[in-house]
Structure 1
Amino acid sequence: MNYPTENPFASTHSLDTNPFEDPTDAQSTTNATRLEEIRQRELDLERREQELAQKQEHIRRHGRNNWPPFFPLIFHSIQEEIPQASQPLITRLYQLWLVLAGTLVVNMVACICILASGSSNGGSDLGSSIGYLIFITPLSFLLWYRPIYNGYMKEQALYYYLYFFFGGFHLLFSVYMIIGIPSTGSAGLIQTIQAYTKPSLPAAIVGTVATVGWIVQGVGLAYYYRQIWAHHKAAGHSVEKAKTELATHGAKAYFTRG
């Protein structure tokens, strides 16, 4: 009589998975990954805060204000305050602001030439161009360049919204100046074409330089405006976050480095 040598309770088709295992393991893994990403972001923010605190202490000891060079009022250092990955962008924006400042000077000189050529609107053009030079130069620095500088330095939503608001207005102003309507203080396209047809060679030449300047800084700012908007969306900034930052830090955060 033959007896079976195999275990009758043994199975050649053993279960591959534990029937008592939580079926949401995949979701748990995903959550763990997200928590790890959040933790890494928090560590990065802590590191950045420590770096800013060290830089603030360095500034306190060795002097804060270094800009503008001829009469220092604020501290401005892209290499020391802006994260390395964002330094090229902020450097380009600063260079475009310098182009704007130079264009405002050239635009005023062009309006002087327009007045000297006998234009009936020359007085209005010159007066407006002087006003642009006096007010647009500092306001553009304070209202759109400085906010985005602070935005990339502190990575706070409030500064991005300030930049988008005032930077958008400046883009519209640039288009207005490129057109060059007579008596508006702009030596743009229309004024320059009229100078060539008169002809008034000095006004035409300087007006051409001014027009190119308006185009360069306007197109450049429009290009970087889109890049900054994409970064802003990817960083998850929101109006609610901006309100919280304003309530927490107040307006004084605009002038402080920490």
Structure 2
Amino acid sequence: MSGFNDNPFGDPFSDPAITSATNRPAVNGDSGLEDYNPFANQTTKPSNSIRGATNPPLTSQEPAVINTSSLGPNNKSYASPPAYTPSAAQTVSIDEIQRQKEELDRKEAELAAREERLRMDGITMKKENNWPPLPSFCPLTPCFYHDINVEIPVEFQRLVRHVYYLWMFYVGVLFVNLLGGLAAMIEKIDGGGGIFAFSLVSLIIFTPLSFVCWFRPLYKAFRNDSSFNFMVFFFVFFCQLVFAILCAIGIPGMGSIGLIVAIEWSSGAPVFFTIFIFLCAIVTASYALASFLVLVKVHSIYRSTGASMQKAQMEFTQGVLRNEHVQHAATAAATGAARQAMSQQFGSNNTNNSSGGSGLRY
């Protein structure tokens, strides 16, 4: 083991250069060999010196940027347009916009208040009757207030107006039937005088009755959403529709000029009279067809509103109970019945007493 001490080259760490390097004190924060870290100063990994397709060479030049804003449709350069500057007329201040908004709000509030005032005035104000439109010198006065644009909702005004025109058309049919009966009476047609008399009576009686019995209930039904008035309209108007169909057919003895009557009267009659008679029959048939269409239309609207027979009965009961005339009549009837019952009771008691008193004999 003494072979190490017998090294002919000596101790390699006893070299004076190495000894001075290891024993040199640290200057300016330099550490000795013991504290030396060979990896401490390597902050970045050395880049690969081999450049290729996957590792292109680094250059200090920035990539070229093409300004496409100065190129036209055909990649031709053109001068940029000047910046848009609004004119003085187009510039509106915020205060002006606010002022206009406040003015519009004020006008809207005024219109709403005016509409509410008009609505309240229409509710509280007593409406004057304006139908039928009679002249001022006539001693009679109108009986109803009739204004479709005011009392009928907007969605039903067109239908109610058409029904009103249908009523006017019905009056015209009655008048045409009167003229046909007059022409038949002049031509001395058998049955012409009877038709003329019936047409005259129908024109006088059915004109106001048709307005009161089926148009006015329909008017009030759409005005008040009343199921009871709908029921009245359906009943009366259906009966009139059946009568109009029979008149259009022209059954002899119905008092109307229909198809059968026109065919019978046209045989051997003058041409003008025949044409006029057939025109009367066509007018009557047109009214029957129009009445059928109106009835179907009103019934479809009635079903869509959710009305029913129970609602009509309820309205009728409430209307009867709230009617002042009905209340007075019921009160008078109940009072009379009570008085009669009391008088009968007292009368029977007096009779029994008198008979009993006369029978006591001693």
TM-score by length of 2: 0.51
Alignment length (residue pairs)? 201
CA positional deviation for 1:202: 4.7
What corresponds to 1:72 in structure 2?
Answer: 142
The answer to whether the 8 A contact 1:106-1:209 is kept is no
Question: Does residue 229 in structure 1 map to residue 296 in structure 2?
Answer: no
1:244 alignment counterpart: 314
Structure 1 residue 52, shift from structure 2 partner = 7.9
- In the alignment, the residues of structure 1 paired with residue 118 and residue 156 of structure 2 have an alpha-carbon distance, to the nearest angstrom, of 16
Aligned residue number for residue 200 of structure 1: 270
Q: How does 1:141-156 map to 2 (within 5 A)?
A: 141-156=211-226
Cα deviation digits, residues 2-21 of structure 1 (max 9, x gap) = xxxxxxxxxxxxxxxxxxxx
CA-CA distance at 1:147 after TM superposition: 0.8
Which of the pair is proportionally richer in helix? 1
Using CA pairs under 8 Å that are at least 6 residues apart, name the structure with larger relative contact order, 1 or 2.
Answer: 1
> Which residue number corresponds to residue 236 of structure 2?
166
Residue 209 of structure 1: how far off its partner (Å): 3.1
Looking at structure 1, the residues matched to 229 and 216 of structure 2 have their Cα atoms a distance apart, in angstroms, of 9
Question: Partner residue of 1:55?
Answer: 122
Letter in 2 for 1:121: G
| Residue in structure 1 matched with residue 76 of structure 2 by the alignment | none
1:130 to 196, 200, 208: 200
String of CA shifts for 1:31-85, please: whole Å, max 9, x gaps. Answer: xxxxxxxxxxxxxxxxxxx998753434x1xx52111112522111111111011
Q: In structure 2, give the amino acid aligned to 1:145.
A: F
Task: Give me the CA root mean square deviation.
Answer: 2.4
Question: C-alpha deviations, 1:71-125, integer Å up to 9, x for none?
Answer: 5221111111110110110111110110100110110110011112122212221
Letter in 2 for 1:68: P
Q: In structure 2, give the amino acid aligned to 1:66.
A: N
Query: Residue 190 in 1 paired to residue 254 in 2?
Result: no
Farther off after superposition, 106-115 or 206-215: 206-215
Residues 53 and 127 of structure 1: CA distance in aligned 2, closer, same or farther (over 3 Å) = farther
Once the two structures are overlaid, the 10-residue window that deviates more, 181-190 or 154-163, is: 181-190
Equivalent pair of 1:106/1:206 in contact (CA under 8 Å) = no
Segments of 4+ moved more than 6 angstroms: 50-53
Identity over aligned pairs, percent:
27
Partner of 2:47: none
Unmatched 5+ residue regions in structure 2?
Answer: 1-116, 135-140, 324-362
Displacement of 1:172: 0.2
> Are residues 97 and 53 of structure 1, via their aligned partners in 2, closer, same or farther at CA, if it must alter by over 3 Å?
farther
Give the 3-state SS of the residue equivalent to 1:250 in structure 2: helix
Cα 1:214–1:74 change in 2 (3 A) is: same
Q: Residue 91 of structure 1 is aligned with which of 152, 161, 165?
A: 161
SS in 2 for 1:208: helix
TM-score for both structures, normalised by structure 1: 0.71
For residues 111 and 76 of structure 1, the distance between their equivalents in structure 2, rounded to whole angstroms, comes to: 33
Separation (CA, whole Å) in 1 of partners of 2:212 and 2:175: 19
5+ long unaligned stretches in structure 1: 1-49, 254-258
SS of 1:199's equivalent in the other structure is coil
1:189–1:211 contact (8 Å) kept in structure 2: yes
